[in-house]
Amino acid sequence: MRFFDLSGQTAVVTGAAAGIGEAIAWRLARAGATVAVADIDRDGANRVAAALVAEGHEAFPVEIDIADEASVARAMAKVLERTGRIDILVNNAGVAGKAAPLWEQTPEDWRAVMAVNLDGVFHCCRAVISHMRARRYGRIVNIASVAGKEGNPNMTAYSASKAGVIAFTKALAKEVALEGICVNSVTPAVVRTKILDQLTPEQIEYMTSRIPMRRTGTPEEIAAVVHFLASPDCSFVTGQCYDASGGRATY
């Protein structure tokens, strides 16, 4: 018996061309899901989808800009055209923004982070929720951040956007609790991916020093948590926020 089996299911993973999203794509594909590798980076999405197929899994690339409602609608329509179903949506794509105190942030810096991290989750959930409601099944996993619980200095927009994702998750979960749809979020602490290129070494050192395990996480460790939340086994868990933070969060 294979636990958390996803055979026959379709999963859309945003930001799957790299980092945590790529690890999630591999994990869900290896569990049997057909994975739509959705990313703004078309070449990266092609590369990951091809690698998944080369290992014998079902996967295909989808170009998406989650900040753009029309792009999201096109991408989800493409997935439905291809597989006829979306069982799992993992809202993983995100940006860190500029690492600087508030007085060095412009309104444009703020909007750029909110447009992807918060508007993006809204657009993607909104694009699939009617389909999931009609089928009375769905699993949505939103990748937030421990910054959304604690607030990281020099990352006001990022921290606020991720707190928004946590609250959005709890609210949406209650709206669809009677419809077979579970919506949860995951809050990683620092994970070694290229998103860290947007930050200074001091910022990364600050974030790592706050982790009781005194190390960064791996994308695979985040993917393991997502796998359960994306599976049919996650049937009495909704509206929750799961830490994958080496013990950093205190609640």
Ligand X SMILES: NC(=O)c1ccc[n+]([C@@H]2O[C@H](COP(=O)([O-])OP(=O)(O)OC[C@H]3O[C@@H](n4cnc5c(N)ncnc54)[C@H](O)[C@@H]3O)[C@@H](O)[C@H]2O)c1
State the catalytic residues.
Answer: 158
Q: Which positions from 15 through 34 interact with ligand X, judged by CB under 6 A?
A: 15, 17-21
Q: What angle do CA 157, 127, 225 make, to 5 degrees?
A: 65
Residue among 116, 140, 141, 157 that touches ligand X (CB under 6 A): 116
CB of 41 to ligand X, least distance (A): 4
Q: Is 97 in the site for ligand X (CB under 6 A)?
A: no
CB of 88 to ligand X, least distance (A): 16
Which stretch, 40-48, 122-130, 167-175, 224-232, contacts ligand X (CB under 6 A)?
Answer: 40-48
User: Of 110, 115, 142, whose CA–CA distance to 128 is shortest?
Assistant: 142
Q: Which two tokens stand for residue 187?
A: 């809050």
Q: Is 145 in the site for ligand X (CB under 6 A)?
A: yes
User: Of 58, 67, 51, 53, whose CA–CA distance to 18 is shortest?
Assistant: 51
Residue among 28, 67, 86, 140 that touches ligand X (CB under 6 A): 67
Contacts of 40 (CB under 8 A, 6+ apart): 63, 64, 65, 66, 93
The number of helices, as runs of H, and strands, as runs of E, in the chain is 9, 7
Q: Is 52 in the site for ligand X (CB under 6 A)?
A: no
Q: Is 114 in the site for ligand X (CB under 6 A)?
A: no
State the number of CA atoms in the 13 A half-sphere of 140 facing the CB.
35
Closest to ligand X by CB, 136 or 215: 215
In whole angstroms, what is the distance from residue 222 CA to residue 92 CA?
Answer: 11
User: Of 17, 10, 72, 70, whose CA–CA distance to 39 is shortest?
Assistant: 17
β-sheet with 88-91: strand ranges across: 59-63, 34-39, 10-14, 88-91, 138-143, 181-188, 241-244
Q: Is 76 in the site for ligand X (CB under 6 A)?
A: no
The count of chain residues that interact with ligand X, using the rule CB under 6 A, is 29
Q: Is 95 in the site for ligand X (CB under 6 A)?
A: yes
Q: Is 190 in the site for ligand X (CB under 6 A)?
A: yes
Which phi and psi angles does 210 have, rounded to 5°? Answer: -85, -5
DSSP state of 155: -
Q: Is 164 in the site for ligand X (CB under 6 A)?
A: no
CB of 43 to ligand X, least distance (A): 10
Residue among 88, 93, 113, 128 that touches ligand X (CB under 6 A): 93
Which stretch, 91-99, 106-114, 174-182, 232-240, contacts ligand X (CB under 6 A)?
Answer: 91-99
Q: Which residues bind ligand X (CB under 6 A)?
A: 14-15, 17-21, 39-41, 44, 64-67, 92-95, 116, 120, 143, 145, 188, 190-191, 193-195
